Structure 1
Amino acid sequence: MDRREIAALLAYIGRLDPRTIRTDQGEARDQLAQWHELLGDVPLATQHGWDARIAARQHIRISPYQILAADIARPWESYRRDRLQRHTDPTPSVDPDDQAAWTAELVDARRAVASGSAQPAHHQQITSRGSNPELEARLREVGSCIPPEARAALTPYRPVRAAREAAIAQGQPDTLSVRCEWCHAQVGEPCRRRRIDRDGYARGNAPRATPHPGRFDLAAQQAQPALA
């Protein structure tokens, strides 16, 4: 606020609380200089919810003490802090290799949000809209969202999945589509080696690269009616 806006604010406050009125010209000048020193960087009002007059009126309504310049500055700092906490830096439009311009655009955006001249930028949220038909058609054409080269490179690190995909490609039944009656592996989980000690307790539960034969037979039995 400039000195004229500070004077207008003090006049508004004086109508609500006559205790703030200074009848002496020297005292009024000192009061104006003091408030301008403390509130020079605080705007009188912004387009997005801030108004110093509302903050002053709220203080006079709920507090029995005479209003001070700090009673305007504190709500303004809370307003700025809340807006910056809700702000997510958008990607600058300048060249990312130009570090100075990149930083300057981020700083300018934050200053605009903090000063109330711009609204905070939020991350786009996932909505409940349906899937894209073009994307579904593309996935049906490709067969998978993982490229074949990447799938082949991941084979040594995913032996169970690689064996399952190879079996399905050869027309064999999907063994992981049924529950294993031997190791009790659930649908979609690999079979496990169950080593039992002489007391009857399990000593090992490591996953197997290949399913148990009984699970393969069960998957084949369930696949036969579907093929028929």
Structure 2
Amino acid sequence: MTRHEIAALLAYIGRLDPRTIRVSQAEARDQIAQWHELLGDVPPATPYGWDARIAARQHIRISPYPILPADIVRPWESYRRERLARHCDPTPVADPDDQAAWTAELFGTRHAVATGAAEPRQDRAITSGRGQDDPELQARLREDGSCIPPAARAALAPLRPARAEREAAVAQGRPDVLAVRCEWCQAQPGEPCRRRRIGPDGGTRATTPRATAHHCRLDLAAAQQAQEPKQLA
């Protein structure tokens, strides 16, 4: 806020709480200088929900003490933290090899979000559990079948073959092997089966993930899939 904006804010506060009014011109000048020193980086208002007058009015409504600059700064810092917590950095358009340009673009985007000049990018809200009652979000999930778009899933398939094989099996109606616990290696649901490495003394020295599941786990998954229609009936 500039000195003129600080003066306007103090005039508004003075109408709500006469205790903050300074009678002499020197006292008013010192008050404006003090508030400007502490609130110089706080905007009077932003297009997305922040207004210093609302923060001041809220303090005057609930507190019996005269308002201080800290009573404006605290809501402003909470506003900044909440917006950055909802923000998901978009991929910069700058050349990734140009570290300075890449970093500057990320900083500029975050600064615009934190200062209320831009709305947060909420890509991660699809998987964060918030907004599950949003009709638009539910329609998108029904259309794509997952929070990961089909094009992105296809691009990731070569990088995670086990997950791709599992998704292909489910899509083809085959049992989901990783949905059950393996009775042989004790792998929990969602974890791949593991191969034991036996030492010379006959004890297990280490385990390594297997590319395929144990036969007993395949049989258990098939049996569980066969029982599902009966349970539904």
Which bin holds the TM-score, normalised by the shorter protein?
0.5 to 0.7
Aligned partners of 1:72, 1:38: CA distance in 2, in Å? Answer: 10
**Structure 1 residue 52 and structure 2 residue 38: aligned?**
no
Aligned length: 156
Retained in 2: the 8 A contact 1:191–1:208? Answer: no
Quick one: structure 1 residues 191 and 103, their matched pair in 2 at CA, closer, same or farther if it must change by over 3 Å? Answer: closer
Cα distance in 2, alignment partners of residues 207 and 55 from structure 1: 62
Q: Secondary structure at the match of 1:60?
A: helix
Q: Tell me the alpha carbon deviations over residues 117-147 of structure 1, each in whole angstroms, 9 at most, x when there is no partner.
A: 0011111637333359xxx9xxxxxxxx978
Q: TM-score, normalised by structure 1?
A: 0.59
Does residue 93 (structure 1) correspond to residue 93 (structure 2)? The answer is yes
Runs of 4+ in 1 over 6 A off after TM superposition: 188-192
RMSD (Å), alpha carbons: 3.7
Aligned to 1:130: 143
Q: Structure 2: where are the runs of 5+ without partners?
A: 127-136, 151-155, 167-173, 185-212, 220-233
Superposed displacement of residue 25, structure 1: 1.1
Structure 2: how far apart are the matches of 1:191 and 1:16?
72
- Could you say what secondary structure the match of 1:85 adopts? helix
SS of equivalent residue, structure 1 residue 68: coil
Unmatched segments (≥5 aa) in structure 1: 137-144, 162-175, 178-187, 193-205, 213-228
| Conserved? CA contact 1:47–1:117, under 8 Å | yes
Residue 70 of structure 1 corresponds to which residue in structure 2?
70
- CA, structure 1 residues 17+96, in 2 after alignment: closer, same or farther (shift >3 Å)? same
Matching residue of 1:36 = 36
Q: Which residue of 2 aligns with 1:13?
A: 13
Alignment of 1:1-228 (within 5 A): 1-123=1-123, 125=126, 127-130=140-143, 207=214
C-alpha spacing 1:34/1:189, structure 2 compared with 1 (3 Å):
closer
The alpha carbon displacement at 1:92 in A equals 0.3
Structure 1's 208 and 55: CA in aligned 2 closer, same or farther, altered over 3 A?
Answer: closer
User: Counterpart amino acid of 1:128?
Assistant: L
Q: How far does the alpha carbon of each residue in 1:29-66 deviate from its partner, in whole angstroms, 9 at most, with x for none?
A: 11010000000000000000000000000000000000
Aligned-residue sequence identity (percent) comes to 65
1:132-181 C-alpha deviation (Å, 9 max, x unpaired) = 9xxx9xxxxxxxx978xx98xx9xxx9xx9xxxxxxxxxxxxxx98xxxx
- Structure whose CA Rg is larger: 1
2:231 counterpart residue number: none
The verdict on how the C-alpha distance between 1:57 and 1:104 changes in structure 2, with shifts beyond 3 A counting, is: same
